[in-house]
Amino acid sequence: MSYSETELQTRYRTMDSGWHQAALDELAEIIAHAEAGGYHRLAFRARRDLANRHCVSGQWEKGFPLFARCLAEFDSRPADFGPQEEYSLRSWYVRTVTTMAEYPEISVEQIAGLHADIRRRFAAHGHSLVGLHTAERWLAYVRGDWAAEEVAYQQWHLAGGPQPNYMWDFETEIERLIHRGDRVSVDRALALAEPVLDGRLTFAESTAPIEAHMLPFWATRLPLERVAEVFQRMERGFADGGPWRYEYPSKVIEFLALTGNEEEAFERYRRRMCHFTTLSRPYGRMEFATSCAVALGRLVRLGRGPEAVPCRGCSGKHPTKTLSERHTELRAEALALAATFDARNGTTWQTEQVTRRLSAGPLLEFLPLRPGARPVMHRVSPIGCPPDVAVHAARWLLDRGLGIAAGQYLSLVGEPTDPVVAAGVLELKARRADDDTTLPRLREAAAAFVAAGEPVRGDLCLVAAANWLRSEKRSAEALAELSAPLERLRADADPESVGHAEVTAAALQYVLERDGNGYPLIEEVVRRAEMIGDQRLLGEARYQYAWMRQGRGDDAKSIAADYIASVCALAAGGADFRARQVLHQLGTFFRKTEDWAALLDSLDRCQSALPPHTGRLVIAGLRWLRGETLHSAGRNEDAVVELSFAAHEYGAIDILNTSKRTYWVKLAEVCAALGDWEQANRHSEYACAWADRARRNGVLGDAARMVTGRSVLADSLRELGRLDRAVSEYHTLVDEALAADRRQTALYAHSQAGDLLLRLNRPAAAAADFHAAADLSAQVPQTPRVLRTLLMKEVIAHVRAGAVEAAETALEQTRGIESTDSDHAARLDLATAHVLFARGETTAALEHTARAQETLQSAGNYSTAGIAALFLAQQHLAAARPDLAVTVLRSSIHRFPEDEPVVAELSALLGSLAAQHHPLTSRQ
């Protein structure tokens, strides 16, 4: 099929601007049809575009031949092309040849020949040689030939050098000095970058690349708080721009790894590891592989080597490997690429640099990236853990509620040949699955243990099956499942195993009201656990006893004492996750009565009774619960201290990056309640950024909670005066609230967005938000006052947008609302005045406005009365009577409380008018 040039031009103009495969294929098809039709200029532009897209996606080797074809076409038919094509070709010739230095398969002689060709072409037409000297300098830089680099740099300056206010040219100055590495060069870079550090020097582009170069040097010279601020500023810069060359995220990963933030570095590596497999630019691969090898090497030295690291984002396309294996691969690739570059360059520079970075020590023991951040707790995994030991460790962890960590150990087992180990793997996988397959697989595991000569282990699998049935509210089936294995365990098993089975039996007897409701049995288990000193068993038994006594309605103080004893025993037994769950149950118990003083007292007693060396997870859980309780009791300043500690501690403990950022939402809420909008913004932004990533990946759990986080983020932006961003977040909040069936929140977001859009002088958009809020009020019934306020604001917005008919429609809806408030008529008067004023009926509008102001003022509704006063003054100004406007403002201001926000607006308008209006004195 053939196409006309017009058809192809239209198709080219409207196609996707991305660089995904579908767009690239469509562009290649346009080129083919253009060539077939003889449309040379279109084929040239499309081919140049295709080359550009390959380069932006990091696959320059696909762009090189396309560019060569463009250059050949231009040389063979220069008359067919205009100045635009010539300029495009010239600028991309420089960029393409510059990048060739990053491909070691292209020889230095070939690149030098292209430099000579650029010089010839540019000199022949009188073009600047700045681009040529940039390419020459970069080749010398990659080779580590600093004498040649200095010559090219000086020639670059003589030819015109850096452009004013162009960040990339300034970055060139910094980068070359940093990579030289000698003390004089580093000191010079520090001096150059100082104005960037303190904000005196800014550019049209983000300064993030400069900060990425300088942070390793600033880290050891500046206070940690200042370094963290610069890091966060750099992060925002990278987030707002892009796409960025791989070298920049590489620098960030390496910096994190060398400042005690290895886990954050690891997570960033994982985000890019799948895409990294497609990166074909050798210099970028070498830089990324080196930085990630530094990060993974730190984790290997911390004992994390055996952890399985699945590739993210490829749906299993790439194999899962251990952290040690990935570290070894990255290190080998970095060194191999460095050697390849050195062989091409005839130097040893790249190998020396890569080796130095791979063996570098940490810059700092720990850099808190956010206020209150704490070092991550790294779980040490034994290198080369045997399968039987791994299964034992996984069971120990799973028994204590640490399912994710148990999975890490299970991943070390592989395909066991030992029947006992194989049965153990089947058991643990069934318990971790917690789905419809759990029951049959546990029974299968029990049979496998019996066949392997481990009948006690098989009976414990059936106890686990009974526990699963209990969790599914199938208590009678659970008791039947438990009866036979419990009888056998009592005859043959150790006291600890029997005790855990009897805790389950007591719970089932209680639910089914059998055998004394389970009390005699659970009391016996508690006594036996105390006697044999099994702390985990004691903790589980005391928890079960407290739960049963709570159902019976025993004294609250004694129930709390049992919960506290359970927490302390579980903490002593290494069951930190279970101890935190019991703390949550303790909080739930007291929340029912809202006896916050009693809960705080219980938490104080619990903390004082905790054993030495209690795990960080338990401490964090206790501090979090105390913070929530203090917030509920209205002690927000104390609550912030506790919640902040716990939130940062949770983040540090969670080595697998699975902690819910809902912790930060609560902290943001409390900061907002205190009016600390800076902190509220910081915490809510962190939570929402995580939520956005989780939502894109389809793993957002607590969507309703994150709606609250978005609401706090939008409110904080509003309070900080960042109105455009606040409007955007309110609109995002609408979508998220509706998705979570939080319609009242969606109504609130529409209303707030409308208010801000009015302040931003975007009345048409504001009217749309107010209208949407009014529509939602039908789904979330509101008081007549709320609905009337929304419609009145819609009227005002329509008037300001010049949509008088729409304003009249909203006004008629307002008149139809039931009168329930004393100021109903005044509000209606004010809305009517806006419509009258828009129609040009100024006298009637003034009458309605004055009457509304007086009524609202008398009712103490100062905010709306202030709006009326401002509107009254604006009407006088429109009638060319600034003297009357001044009189209205002066008479109104003193009638409002000084702290009323409207006073500032009235005063500002009065000040502006007073400077312009000077009443004439009467003639003598």
Note the pLDDT tens digit of each residue in 260-319: 999 889 888 988 887 787 788 899 999 999 999 999 999 988 878 877 777 655 555 667
Mean pLDDT of the residues in the chain: 86
DSSP state at residue 920? P
* d(C-alpha 677, C-alpha 761), whole Å: 24
SS3 579: helix
DSSP state at residue 77? -
158 CB-near residues (< 8 Å, 6+ apart): none
Nearest one of 155, 61, 130, 153 to 102, comparing CA atoms: 61
Q: According to the model, what pLDDT value does residue 922 have?
A: 35
Q: According to the model, what pLDDT value does residue 402 have?
A: 78
Q: According to the model, what pLDDT value does residue 38 have?
A: 81
Is residue 271 within 8 A of residue 312, CB to CB? The reply is yes
Provide the strand spans (E) within 249-332: 308-309, 321-322
Is residue 468 within 8 A of residue 434, CB to CB? The reply is yes
23-27, 234-238, 325-329, 699-703: segment of lowest average pLDDT: 699-703
Helices 723-739, 743-759: crossing angle, 10 deg rounding: 160
Q: Residue range 99-114: average pLDDT? A: 92
Give per-residue pLDDT as tens, 801-853. 888 888 888 888 888 877 766 677 887 888 888 888 888 888 888 888 888 88
Q: How many CA atoms does the CB half-sphere of 723 hold within 13 Å?
A: 12
* d(C-alpha 471, C-alpha 717), whole Å: 44
Give per-residue pLDDT as tens, 363-375. 998 898 876 676 7
CA angle at 735 for the pair 734 and 741, rounded to the nearest 5°: 85
Q: Residue range 574-586: average pLDDT? A: 92
Is residue 651 within 8 A of residue 659, CB to CB? The reply is yes
DSSP 555-578: -HHHHHHHHHHHHHHHHHTT-HHH
Nearest one of 690, 675, 685 to 710, comparing CA atoms: 685
Is residue 88 within 8 A of residue 48, CB to CB? The reply is yes
* d(C-alpha 217, C-alpha 214), whole Å: 5
Q: For the chain, what is the largest distance between any 2 Cα atoms, rounded to a whole number of angstroms?
A: 122
| Residue 386 banded pLDDT, cuts 50, 70, 90 | confident
Question: Residue 718: in which H helix or E strand, if any?
Answer: helix 703-719
Q: According to the model, what pLDDT value does residue 865 have?
A: 81
Per-residue CA distances from 106 to 50, 88, 136, 338, 346 (Å)? 22, 24, 15, 15, 13
| Residue 192 banded pLDDT, cuts 50, 70, 90 | very high
Q: According to the model, what pLDDT value does residue 702 have?
A: 60
Nearest one of 438, 493, 488, 424 to 466, comparing CA atoms: 438
Q: Which residue has the tokens 């570095």?
A: 265
Helices 130-143, 108-124: crossing angle, 10 deg rounding: 170
Q: In the chain, pLDDT over 70 holds for what percent of residues?
A: 92
Nearest one of 221, 164, 234 to 190, comparing CA atoms: 221
Is residue 31 within 8 A of residue 54, CB to CB? The reply is no
173-178 contact pairs (CB < 8 A, 24+): 174/210, 174/213, 174/214, 175/213, 176/137, 176/141, 176/149, 178/213, 178/214, 178/217
Examine the pLDDT at 889 and tell me if it is beyond 90: no
DSSP state at residue 674? T
Q: According to the model, what pLDDT value does residue 656 have?
A: 44
Q: According to the model, what pLDDT value does residue 923 have?
A: 34
Please give the distance of CA 432 from its chain centroid, rounded to a whole number: 28
Omega before 243 cis (within 30°)? yes
Nearest one of 161, 160, 112 to 139, comparing CA atoms: 112
Give per-residue pLDDT as tens, 9-64. 887 777 766 666 777 777 788 888 877 788 877 887 788 777 777 766 667 777 77
Which is more confident, 404 or 195?
195
SS3 322: strand
**DSSP-based helix, strand, coil % in the chain, nearest 5:** 75, 0, 25
Helix ranges (DSSP H) in 493-518: 495-512
Q: Residue range 896-910: average pLDDT? A: 73
Is residue 294 within 8 A of residue 258, CB to CB? The reply is yes
Q: According to the model, what pLDDT value does residue 294 have?
A: 96
**Token pair belonging to 456:** 């006690």
Give per-residue pLDDT as tens, 639-661. 999 998 888 888 777 644 445 56
Per-residue CA distances from 846 to 850, 868, 877 (Å)? 6, 10, 12
**Token pair belonging to 535:** 């702390």
Examine the pLDDT at 872 and tell me if it is beyond 70: yes
Q: According to the model, what pLDDT value does residue 73 have?
A: 78
Nearest one of 563, 555, 684, 670 to 624, comparing CA atoms: 670
Examine the pLDDT at 165 and tell me if it is beyond 90: no
Q: According to the model, what pLDDT value does residue 898 have?
A: 66
Which is more confident, 924 or 771?
771
Is residue 792 within 8 A of residue 830, CB to CB? The reply is yes
340-349, 439-448, 494-503, 893-902: segment of lowest average pLDDT: 893-902
Q: According to the model, what pLDDT value does residue 655 have?
A: 46
| Residue 244 banded pLDDT, cuts 50, 70, 90 | confident
DSSP state at residue 245? -
Is residue 662 within 8 A of residue 668, CB to CB? The reply is no
* d(C-alpha 356, C-alpha 398), whole Å: 42
- The terminus-to-terminus CA distance of the chain in angstroms comes to 94
Torsion, CA 386, CA 388, CA 391, CA 392, rounded to 10: -110
DSSP state at residue 78? G
Q: In the chain, pLDDT over 90 holds for what percent of residues?
A: 46
| Residue 588 banded pLDDT, cuts 50, 70, 90 | very high
Helix ranges (DSSP H) in 306-418: 323-345, 349-358, 387-399, 403-410
* d(C-alpha 220, C-alpha 255), whole Å: 12
Q: Residue range 882-907: average pLDDT? A: 77
Is residue 511 within 8 A of residue 552, CB to CB? The reply is no
Per-residue CA distances from 124 to 68, 96, 121, 128, 222 (Å)? 20, 20, 5, 11, 51
Per-residue CA distances from 227 to 214, 232, 544, 809 (Å)? 10, 9, 49, 57
Q: How many CA atoms does the CB half-sphere of 882 hold within 13 Å?
A: 12
Phi, psi of 77, rounded to the nearest 5 degrees: -135, 60
* d(C-alpha 671, C-alpha 683), whole Å: 9
SS3 287: helix
204-218, 871-885, 903-917: segment of lowest average pLDDT: 903-917
* d(C-alpha 37, C-alpha 15), whole Å: 20
Nearest one of 645, 639, 556, 552 to 594, comparing CA atoms: 556
Give per-residue pLDDT as tens, 747-780. 999 999 999 998 888 999 999 999 999 889 878 8
